[in-house]
Amino acid sequence: MKKALIIVSFGTSYKETREKTIEAVEKRMTENFPECDVYRAFTSNMVIKKIKEKEGIKVPTVNQLMLELKEKGYKEVYVQPLHVINGNEYSKAAHQAHHFKKDFDVIKVGKPLMTEFEDYEEIVEWLKDLAQPLEKNEGVVLMGHGTQHAAFTAYACLDHMLNKEPIFICAVESYPSVETVVEKLKERNIEKVYLHPFMLVAGDHATNDMASDEEDSWKSQLTKAGFIVEPILKGMGEYPKIQNLFLSHAEKVVERGE
């Protein structure tokens, strides 16, 4: 029996961005690990419910999928999260997988995008490339999801590593907030801002909280503060560089058992 590789993410009910991001990564994983049967799992029950209602597709949780793999007779299961940080959703996926450790010979869970210091360095270089070419009075603001988990510090760490660049990391649900960036933008004499999601997919947060014309969206807040704002609705999972980083994390667990 082949090995099983579970690609797990929070998920998204936005079909188009799901195809460009999650499915694109899954395809890369399938090509790179022919010895594995690749499966999809989501950690968000709300997203799973929406997809079932809208598309008639049932996406399992890690827990449900582990039960299925056990019934199918798999002995080796590898899990690669597509989460950005080591927060609540990653912890949930890892906990559900390890719950079945007595039922399989091997269960290995890979790391999220930003785990080791080298991951941060890679992301910094990717963001520098993403920001090119910028005019002198232009900057980039990225919307991270944020978390109440202790891992919220990952966003502040990355933002600090970019302190010499016109690139700013903010988060919807934790620090740094978008309000904290306005003064920084003015200090740098930035007049135009490119808004990007710092999330795997360009889903609900990116579409509504970041790029919409609603009064409390980031686009509206920054426009009101006097900046010209151009939202870019492109999830991180669309970029080959980010896909490659997830692949390298998966290689560590599948090929080296780390």
74: annotated binding-site residue? Answer: no
Look up residue 87 and give its two tokens. Answer: 């927060």
Q: Quick check: is 98 catalytic?
A: no
Is 88 assigned to a binding site?
A: yes
| CA–CA dist 80, 95 (Å, integer) | 13
Q: Any known ligand binding at 179?
A: no
Query: Is 92 labelled as part of a ligand binding site?
Result: yes
Residue 31, C-beta contacts closer than 8 angstroms, at least 6 positions apart = none
Tell whether 139 is in a known binding site: no
CA separation for the pair 61, 51 (Å, rounded): 13
- To the question of whether residue 14 is assigned a binding role by annotation, the answer is no
83 marked as binding residue: no
Q: CA angle at residue 199 from 196 to 201, to 5 degrees? A: 95
65 is in an annotated binding site: no
Contact between residue 247 and residue 28 where contact means Cβ atoms under 8 Å apart: yes
Q: Which of 83, 99, 145, 160 is catalytic?
A: 145
Neighbour count for residue 187 (Cβ, 10 Å): 8
What residues form the annotated binding site for substrate?
A: 85-92, 200-201
Residues designated catalytic = 145
Q: Residues marked as binding for Co(2+)?
A: 10, 145, 173, 205
Please state the residue numbers annotated as binding site: 10, 85-92, 145, 173, 200-201, 205
